[in-house]
Amino acid sequence: MIQINSIGLPQYNAKLFAEELNKQLAHYSDYYQDTKGSHWNMNVDKSFAGHVKFEELYNVLVLKSDEIAEWILTLGFTPEHNDSQDANLSSRKEIKKVADGIQAVAHIPKAYKMIILKQELIPSLVNDAKDKGTTFIMSDYISFQEKEVGIYTSF
């Protein structure tokens, strides 16, 4: 007999979706760390506007991470939340002490593109199970991030 979770999804599908979302959570966590580091280390006297923009970015990443973690809980699973698991789940290439504003801004679309590529797999995965919630969340994030890539690529 197929077990159904609290929102009506087969348990095996929900588990698979939660695993994929935990990978996204790890990517967001890593990107948050990179963004926070760029915010801290950016040479403020040369690029104060960039300093403020990085603060906006990491605040968005905190909100999106929270939404992903809460959706994992909704699916009936536990969001991963420690560095050792992030390292196993994320494919990020760590950036180090970026003080140059141009270099830091150039990293934004690269990071978003990597996240988008990973996120694009999720809607096709969840479509068969008719998981509209996960599809909606990922589609919303992808739209936002594609717009951000366009904005930051134009600098």
**Residue 72 or residue 89, greater confidence:** 72
4 phi/psi in degrees, rounded to 5: -115, 135
* pLDDT at residue 85, as a whole number: 57
Cα Dmax for the chain:
64
Please name which of 143, 130, 137, 155 lies closest in space to residue 65, comparing C-alpha atoms. Answer: 137
Say if residue 131's pLDDT is above 80: yes
Residue with tokens 């096709």: 124
CATH 3.40.50.2020 assigned to 49-78+95-155: no
Residue ranges of domains in the chain: 49-78+95-155
First to last CA, the chain: 55
Helix (H) or strand (E) holding 24: helix 11-41
What is the pTM for the complete model shown? 0.83
6 phi/psi in degrees, rounded to 5: -65, -20
